[in-house]
Amino acid sequence: MEEIVIICSGSSGGHAKLIIDALEKANRKIKGIIDNQRQPGERLYGYEVLGDEEYVKRNSIDTGIVGIGDNWKRKQAVKRVKEINPFFKFTVVIHPYTSIARGVTIGEGTVVMAGAIINSDAQIGEHCIVNTKSSIAHDCEIGDYVSISPSATLGGNVLVGVGSTVAMGANVIHAVTIGQHTVIGAGSTVLDDIEDYKVAYGTPAKTVKVRKEFDKYL
């Protein structure tokens, strides 16, 4: 059985705990935690911090998952690990209490949390978070490094661009396009397309400001 490391960064421990729970529920083996900010020997949710990202190189670690909730920081962590070990395998983590329909594709490094529903022929990119009780309808296309937050709902044929976030409880009607690195605020209802690098919220959701790729969510 492969041994999985969880790569996180200090304050990202909350998301890492959810990944640990999903792995445990799926009876997968966790080797430990890789963290640039915690000291070796510390523990996170019962698992030892093995060292920083250089530990991956020194010990020929080749399988893991990035446990960082922020899309930009998660992307940077993936980049650093690939530079250390170009052959590192980013595993897919799926909590056993999910519903994933036939025809769904899920990219490497993506996490699907408890209660999530992904319907027929949806395409989920790499290093995404499909969070607790979120729902992605048929034929949606979700780009890399996207977060679909708890209880967010996407109608059929929705497109979500790279690095974007649909925040908690937001609803997106069918066939809408959400651009790259865009944030849809919590509880919003999206009725029309939202462009790249925007923050939009409300019912109906309207663009309220422009953002950069590395900005905090809101």
Give the CATH number of the domain where residue 164 resides: 2.160.10.10
- pTM of the model as a whole: 0.95
Residue 214: inside a domain, yes or no?
A: no
* Catalytic site includes residue 138: yes
Are 138 and 196 found together in one domain?
Answer: yes
Are 79 and 154 found together in one domain?
Answer: no
Are 133 and 161 found together in one domain?
Answer: yes
Indicate which residue of 95, 127, 138, 181 is catalytic. 138
Are 144 and 77 found together in one domain?
Answer: no
**What is the average pLDDT value for the chain, to the nearest integer?**
95
Residue 212: inside a domain, yes or no?
A: no
By CB atoms closer than 10 A (0-12, 13-18, 19+), residue 31 is middle
Range of the domain at 177: 93-206
Q: How do residues 51-98 score in pLDDT, each as one tens digit? A: 998 898 888 899 999 999 999 999 999 999 999 999 999 999 999 999
Are 118 and 199 found together in one domain?
Answer: yes
Q: In the predicted model, is pLDDT for residue 218 greater than 70?
A: no
Tally: H helices and E strands in the chain: 3, 25
Sheet with 153-154, edge to edge strand ranges: 99-100, 117-118, 135-136, 153-154, 171-172, 189-190
Are 101 and 83 found together in one domain?
Answer: no
